[in-house]
Amino acid sequence: MKKLKLSLSLLLTFMMVSVISAQEGVSKAELLNGINNFGELGLSNEKSSELMDYNKGFADRVYDIVDSNNSEEQKINALKSLRDSTAKDLTNILGIDNFKKYKKVVKRELRPLKRKTKLLKFII
């Protein structure tokens, strides 16, 4: 019986630590670092600068939505809408081929951040 109580208390402690660490937020700087890590695409300086400027505004819009007082469902819908409009904008900036490559890079870079803030999975 004592072993069972000890095992259950250890399991409960582990679960609480996991939940608390999963609820850590992602800072805007971490998000920007993830979406601005596109060096392997070999973009021109002009395109890189344009993309970095766009990403800064994108991060601001994401955090405006995430930090709002809206319901979870409203936030998800707003993030999905932002994702769709961003895909169009980035296709215009980068072109179709570079956008596909950029999207793969961003998915890889933001994967660890999705675990911290579940709402980020709707922008990827």
* Per-position pLDDT tens, the chain of length 124: 555 454 444 444 455 444 444 445 788 889 888 899 888 888 899 999 999 999 999 999 999 998 999 999 999 999 999 999 999 999 999 999 999 999 999 999 888 888 777 777 777 6
Q: Provide the domain limits for residue 101.
A: 25-122
DSSP 41: G
Distance CA 113, CA 107 (A): 10
**pTM score:** 0.74
Distance CA 105, CA 43 (A): 13
Residue 57 belongs to what H/E stretch? Answer: helix 45-66
Could you give the number of structural domains in the chain? 1
In terms of residues, how long is the chain? 124
Residue 4 belongs to a domain: no
Residue 14 belongs to a domain: no
